[in-house]
Structure 1
Amino acid sequence: MSETKTLDPSQAVRLQTYLNATSESPEPVSPIDKRRARRSFERAAQTYDSVAVLQREIADRMLERLDYVRLRPERILDIGTGTGYAIDWLTRRYPKARVVALDFAHGMLGQARRRGSWMRRPLCVCADAEQLPLADASVDLIVSNATFQWCNDLERTFRDCLRILRPGGLFMFTTFGPDTLRELRAAWSQVDAHSHVSPFLDMHDIGDTLARVRFADTVMDAERLTLTYDRVQDLMRDLKVLGAHNATSQRPRALTGRARIRALEAAYEAHRSDGRLPASYEVVYGHAWAPVQTETAEGVAIPVSALGGRKGGS
């Protein structure tokens, strides 16, 4: 049995259970237009935190899992840091670690650089998650919250994460699965044939990708969270304020006219429940380890630094 948790944009308001939930077939993946996505997040930097209720909630749930991990990192990388919400938690949890905040939107990094104590500000790096400008084996812990859905080549991205992790390092992340915004996708499908919602990968495909790049001890799980709204326009406004615009290359290029918005609103009404319109999110959680042993042409190599065992500590 799984749980569907419903959150109001201001606070959690109700909890439901569901059985035998089925997913719609995901639409064909449309590559993300990175330039458009970057511009959207640049514009959203000042307003992002005002509506990022869901993003903070899933960040908290991800970070709480570190309480069950024995790790004493010296350097932590936060990929897609956004306004740096995770940084305060990380600097409290690991006060001796150096936190590196990475995001492709410079405006977001301007917000993130204020996080942490005045003596332990994060080192901010403006770069794409698909092209990490860090040295091999230079990081002990990578965290990433709600970022990898903006990557076009997830295998390349994960391979780069493995490259920069030290042997025995931990990779922990969240992203969104194909049931995300399924009501919005279904409503738009009744209006036109364009791509209006970004594509999301299945949890099992993400886990398979981690295995292909040779991460070890991979664990994947998912849950459903639902935001509720009075009107479709409130949902659309939140997505705009977040910077989470449709950034697929197959998006419609013309402005959305009033007639199409009215058609969208009418189609979305079929999903109204208890007087509210739901916006579903399938939240995918993953964590995996950089293997201590590495394969070579001659067999298996064990780094000298690993002979003492995996790092302990709280």
Structure 2
Amino acid sequence: MSSPSTPSTSPPTMDCVAAARWHQMAPSPSPWLHEEVARRMEGRLQWIRQAPTSWCHWDPVRGGLQAHALLRQRYPDALCHITETAPERQATAKATLSPAWWSAARWKGGATQFGPAPNGTMQMLWANMALHMHSQPQELLAQWHRTLAVDGYLMFSCLGPDTLKELRSLYEALGWPAPSHQYTDMHDWGDMLVHTGFAEPVMDMERITLTFSSPQRLLQELRELGRNLHPQRFAALRGRHWYGQLLEQISQRLATPGDNGQLALTFEIIYGHAFKPTPRVRVASESAVSLQDMRAMLRGSTQP
């Protein structure tokens, strides 16, 4: 069986500098769509037979503060490690997600810790709607892989390539640059997971159509979700004339027939799930194995 091809380390249509800037400046409230996707992904945990005793919530401020409460309710006795990678949102994470001083969770069972989780310690890593805005997705997947313990699993979601297809068609028809960078297909995410060292990746996808009462409300929602990171995006600010044309074109081209002029946008949501297997040493005349991997292999060999 042929091995998966080595994926590109960075999405070809993403401005890495702009992506890093957006990650630092993104507003703190979790967007409505992020919360809804997290709620749907949380429902998929019912198929996980063994509850984790420790789990990491990756970038919860943007990924879903309401969803965090659902996860805490599902795993009340598990240690929760909160990793917020944007310094500007770390204070928000602590203020919002720290247990109350009188809570028993501070002293036993489901304690909450903040900061980078020690490598090889988490049984579940939860990352909602973060991967599609990262300029180095393979590095991020590798970081998640290092954080997980052997037999731990990753749960993530992100946007797929059919996202904003109506807006892309509008921009293309008017001869404008693309309204966003291209999002990665779920099959490519599966290849990247395997290439990073994950096993048994399970990828799933659904499309969510959101409707808006006005073009202004539609654009406001998009600003809350992210920014256009395409390298060939508009290079400068546009004037009032362009903005008025954009509003007019959205009203005309995105209106759904027989729905009182509601404006529709498609979002493709990708869900991913994969395990971290026991590491294997490649057969060679000389092999190097990390101490962490050696311990994991020894633990696996002693199990019946």
Tell me the equivalent position of 2:276.
Answer: 290
The structure with the largest helix share of the pair is 2
Provide the C-alpha distance between the structure 2 equivalents of 1:180 and 1:156, rounded to a whole number of angstroms.
24
Provide the C-alpha distance between the structure 2 equivalents of 1:76 and 1:141, rounded to a whole number of angstroms.
5
**Counterpart amino acid of residue 299 in structure 2:** S
Tell me the equivalent position of 1:75.
Answer: 54
Tell me the equivalent position of 2:37.
Answer: 58
Tell me the equivalent position of 2:232.
Answer: 250
Pairs within 5 Å for 1:1-314: 29-32=13-16, 33-41=18-26, 44-45=27-28, 48-49=29-30, 52-83=31-62, 84-113=65-94, 114-115=96-97, 117-118=99-100, 119=103, 120=105, 122-125=112-115, 133-240=116-223, 242=224, 244-268=226-250, 269-273=252-256, 274=259, 275-297=261-283, 303-306=297-300
Provide the C-alpha distance between the structure 2 equivalents of 1:169 and 1:270, rounded to a whole number of angstroms.
46
**Counterpart amino acid of residue 244 in structure 2:** R
Provide the C-alpha distance between the structure 1 equivalents of 2:129 and 2:199, rounded to a whole number of angstroms.
22
Q: Point out the more displaced range, 67-76 or 274-283.
A: 67-76
Kept after mapping to 2: 8 A contact 1:77/1:143: yes
Seen in structure 2, the aligned counterparts of structure 1 residues 187 and 249 have a Cα distance that, compared at 3 Å, is same
Provide the C-alpha distance between the structure 2 equivalents of 1:145 and 1:224, rounded to a whole number of angstroms.
16
Seen in structure 2, the aligned counterparts of structure 1 residues 152 and 226 have a Cα distance that, compared at 3 Å, is same
Shift of residue 249 of structure 1? Answer: 3.9
The answer for unaligned runs of 5 or more in structure 1 is 1-26, 126-132
Kept after mapping to 2: 8 A contact 1:171/1:289: yes
Shift of residue 171 of structure 1? Answer: 0.5
TM-score, normalised to structure 2, is 0.78
Kept after mapping to 2: 8 A contact 1:188/1:264: no
- The 3-state SS of whatever aligns with 1:38 is helix
C-alpha RMSD over aligned residues: 2.7
- The 3-state SS of whatever aligns with 2:154 is strand
The answer for unaligned runs of 5 or more in structure 2 is 1-10, 106-110, 288-292
The structure with the largest strand share of the pair is 1
Provide the C-alpha distance between the structure 2 equivalents of 1:256 and 1:103, rounded to a whole number of angstroms.
34
Tell me the equivalent position of 2:290.
Answer: none
**Counterpart amino acid of residue 113 in structure 2:** L
TM-score, normalised to structure 1, is 0.76
- The 3-state SS of whatever aligns with 1:82 is helix
Identity of aligned residues (%): 26
The structure with the larger Rg is: 2
Kept after mapping to 2: 8 A contact 1:39/1:105: yes
